[in-house]
Chains A and B, each alone.
Chain A
Amino acid sequence: MENNVILSVKDLRVVFEDGFVALGGVSLDIGKNEFVTLLGPSGCGKTTLLRCIGGFEKPTSGEILYKGEDIIHLPPYKRAINTVFQRYALFPHLNVAQNVAFGPDLRGEDKKKTALEVSRMLEMVGLAGYEKRKISSLSGGQQQRVAIARALINKPDVLLLDEPLAALDLKLRREMQLELKRIQRESGITFIFVTHDQEEALTMSDRVAVMRSGEILQLGTPEDIYNEPQSAFVADFIGDSNILAGTMVRDRLVRFLNCEFPCVDGGFGEQAEVDIVVRPEDLKLRTMEDPIEGVPQGVVESLLFKGVHYEMKVRSGDSVLLVHSTHARPVGTRVKMFVAPEDIQVMHKSDCSPDVLKRHADRAK
Chain B
Amino acid sequence: MKNKALTLPFVLWAMIFIVVPLVMIVWYGVTIEEPIPYTEIIQPDGSVIYELENGSRTTEKPWQKRAVVSLSNFKRMLEPTYLRLLLRSLKVAVITTVICLALGYPVALILTGRDFKRPALWLMLLILPMWMNFLLRTYSWMSILENSGILNSWIARLREAIPVLDEWLLARGVRRRIIFLYNENAVILGMVYNYLSFMIMPIYTVIEKIDRSLLEAAADLGASPAKSFMRVTLPYSLPGVLEGITMVFVPAVTTFVISQLMGGGKVPLIGDIIQNQFGKSSDWHFGATLSLLVMVVVLAFMGALGRIDKEDEQSKEVRIL
The answer on A and B forming one complex is yes
Chain A residues in contact with chain B, CB under 8 A? 54-56, 75-77, 81-83, 85-87, 89-91, 93-95, 98, 102-103, 106-107, 132-134, 150-151, 154
Please tell me the number of chain B residues within 8 Å of chain A, measured between CB atoms: 22
A53–B198 CA distance with the chains assembled, in angstroms: 41
Asked whether B232 lies within 8 Å of A83 as measured between CB atoms, the reply is no
Asked whether B213 lies within 8 Å of A154 as measured between CB atoms, the reply is no
**Residues of chain B within 8 A of A98, CB atoms compared:** 319
A72–B222 CA distance with the chains assembled, in angstroms: 16
**Distance from B126 Cβ to chain A, minimum over Cβ atoms (Å):** 25
A102-B320 contact, Cβ under 8 Å, with A89-B213, A91-B232: no
Asked whether A76 lies within 8 Å of B232 as measured between CB atoms, the reply is no
**Residues of chain A within 8 A of B223, CB atoms compared:** 77, 102, 106
A-B contact count (CB 8 A): 66
**Residues of chain A within 8 A of B319, CB atoms compared:** 94-95, 98
Please indicate which of the listed interface residues B218, B221, B228 has the most CB atoms of chain A within 10 Å of its own CB: B221
**Residues of chain A within 8 A of B216, CB atoms compared:** 56, 76, 83, 85, 89
Asked whether A76 lies within 8 Å of B220 as measured between CB atoms, the reply is yes
**Residues of chain A within 8 A of B219, CB atoms compared:** 55-56, 75-77
Given A77-B222, A106-B221, A106-B227, output 6 extra A-B contacts at Cβ < 8 Å: A89-B213, A90-B217, A94-B319, A102-B218, A132-B321, A151-B221
A54–B214 CA distance with the chains assembled, in angstroms: 14
Asked whether A77 lies within 8 Å of B220 as measured between CB atoms, the reply is yes
Asked whether B217 lies within 8 Å of A85 as measured between CB atoms, the reply is yes
Give the top 5 A-B pairs by smallest Cβ distance, nearest first: A89-B213, A89-B217, A103-B221, A76-B219, A95-B320
B74 at the interface (CB under 8 A from A): no
B235 at the interface (CB under 8 A from A): yes
**Residues of chain A within 8 A of B316, CB atoms compared:** 93
Nearest chain B residue, comparing its CB with the CB of A90: B217
Question: Could you name 22 residue pairs across A and B whose Cβ atoms are closer than 8 Å?
Answer: A56-B220, A76-B216, A76-B219, A76-B220, A77-B219, A77-B222, A85-B213, A86-B213, A87-B213, A89-B216, A90-B217, A91-B214, A93-B236, A94-B319, A95-B319, A95-B320, A102-B218, A103-B221, A106-B231, A133-B320, A150-B221, A154-B222
**Residues of chain B within 8 A of A95, CB atoms compared:** 319-320
Chain B residues in contact with chain A, CB under 8 A? 211, 213-214, 216-224, 227-228, 231-232, 235-236, 316, 319-321
A76–B227 CA distance with the chains assembled, in angstroms: 13
**Distance from B189 Cβ to chain A, minimum over Cβ atoms (Å):** 37
**Distance from A251 Cβ to chain B, minimum over Cβ atoms (Å):** 52
Nearest chain B residue, comparing its CB with the CB of A83: B220
- Name B's interface SS: helix
Nearest chain B residue, comparing its CB with the CB of A85: B213
A103-B222 contact, Cβ under 8 Å, with A93-B235, A95-B320: yes
Q: Which of these, B217, B220, B224, B321, contacts A91 with CB under 8 Å?
A: B217
**Residues of chain A within 8 A of B222, CB atoms compared:** 77, 103, 106-107, 154
Asked whether A154 lies within 8 Å of B320 as measured between CB atoms, the reply is no
**Distance from A8 Cβ to chain B, minimum over Cβ atoms (Å):** 21
A154-B236 contact, Cβ under 8 Å, with A98-B319, A106-B227: no
**Residues of chain B within 8 A of A82, CB atoms compared:** 220-221
A103–B231 CA distance with the chains assembled, in angstroms: 12
Nearest chain A residue, comparing its CB with the CB of B215: A89
A75–B219 CA distance with the chains assembled, in angstroms: 8
Nearest chain A residue, comparing its CB with the CB of B217: A89
A103–B236 CA distance with the chains assembled, in angstroms: 19
**Residues of chain B within 8 A of A133, CB atoms compared:** 320
Asked whether A134 lies within 8 Å of B220 as measured between CB atoms, the reply is no
A103–B224 CA distance with the chains assembled, in angstroms: 11
Please indicate which of the listed interface residues A90, A98, A102 has the most CB atoms of chain B within 10 Å of its own CB: A102
**Distance from B40 Cβ to chain A, minimum over Cβ atoms (Å):** 76
A77–B223 CA distance with the chains assembled, in angstroms: 6
**Distance from B289 Cβ to chain A, minimum over Cβ atoms (Å):** 44
Asked whether B320 lies within 8 Å of A134 as measured between CB atoms, the reply is yes
**Distance from A155 Cβ to chain B, minimum over Cβ atoms (Å):** 12
**Residues of chain A within 8 A of B211, CB atoms compared:** 89
Nearest chain B residue, comparing its CB with the CB of A96: B320
**Residues of chain B within 8 A of A134, CB atoms compared:** 320
**Residues of chain B within 8 A of A102, CB atoms compared:** 218, 221, 223, 231
Nearest chain B residue, comparing its CB with the CB of A137: B320
Asked whether B235 lies within 8 Å of A154 as measured between CB atoms, the reply is no
**Distance from A183 Cβ to chain B, minimum over Cβ atoms (Å):** 18
A154-B214 contact, Cβ under 8 Å, with A93-B236, A106-B227: no
**Residues of chain A within 8 A of B236, CB atoms compared:** 93
A54–B216 CA distance with the chains assembled, in angstroms: 10
Please indicate which of the listed interface residues A54, A87, A91 has the most CB atoms of chain B within 10 Å of its own CB: A91
**Distance from A290 Cβ to chain B, minimum over Cβ atoms (Å):** 59
